[in-house]
Amino acid sequence: MAGVSSCMKYSMFIFNFLFWVCGSVILGVSIWIRVSKGAQQEIDSSLLAGANVLIAVGSIIMVLGFLGCCGAIKESQCMLLLFFIGLLLILILQVAGGILGAVYKSQIEASVNVTLQQSAIVLQGSTEEDKAFQETFQQFEQMNQCCGLGSGPADWGKNFNIAFGSSKPCACEQNNPPKDNCVYFQSRYIYKTPCEHVIIKYLKDHLIIIMGIAFGLAVIEIFGLVFSMSLYCQIQRK
């Protein structure tokens, strides 16, 4: 009867050991972010929620890596089958997530627009929380050379002429404003591009990166499925 290929066996072990190490790193870093008081002071609640997701992802990767390593070395059909099923479920979830993202793309864009409209209301507020957001957003405008959200200077309302630090909202460079992205408005130069365009472009660019990573992971997962099932069949024939 045919034996188990040593090359496939140890390749499977090395692959899953690296998989397990990656899961350990993700889990360790995400737990540190979640429990470190210093880190919690530097990041907002949305990133803490992301850390919780990474804890779950790291844990799943560690478990799958452990099953793959032990299944390959011990030639355990049970562990290899559990590894195969777990990896297959992750692949199915990735494909389902991609399909849902494509189907509900318009709803996602509508949700982003609603969020931007709510943020535009905050730009016109007068509470301490509103002022903190306004100061941060004014810095965002300077960094990205944009003004307001969807309606430009109108989004600031009465706060348009309030100075935050050394400059007012939407202010271009005072000495030599770039002509292609500045207009003269209410006695000063301001950026004419709404920040909505910058934010949406940022989201689209990063969505392409996420899709590329997801595609790369899918290819690796397919190789893992093929190797694990091949090794499973060789052990069965042994």
Read off the pLDDT of residues 191-230 as tens digits, 9 standing for 90 and up.
Answer: 888 888 888 888 777 777 777 777 877 888 888 888 888 8
Residue 188 bridge partners (DSSP) = 185
Contact 174, 182 (CB under 8 A): no
Residue 6's pLDDT is 78
Residue 79 main-chain phi, psi, to 5 deg: -65, -40
Confidence band, pLDDT 50/70/90 cuts, at residue 43:
very low
Residue 191 bridge partners (DSSP) = 182
DSSP secondary structure of 145-202: T-BSSSSGGGGGGGGGG--BTTB-TTB--SSS--GGGEEEETTEEEE-SBHHHHHHHH
Rounded-to-integer distance, Cα 113 and Cα 230, Å: 49
Higher pLDDT, 171 or 100: 171
Residue 147 bridge partners (DSSP) = 194
Of 170, 177, 179, 175, which is closest to residue 198 (Cα–Cα)? Answer: 170
- How is residue 140 written in tokens? 């965002």
Residue 63 makes CB contacts below 8 A (sequence gap 6+) with 23, 86
Rounded-to-integer distance, Cα 120 and Cα 136, Å: 13
Give the predicted TM-score (pTM) of the model. 0.61
pLDDT in tens, 90-147: 888 878 877 776 676 666 667 777 777 777 888 888 888 888 888 888 888 888 888 9
- How is residue 188 written in tokens? 């000063």
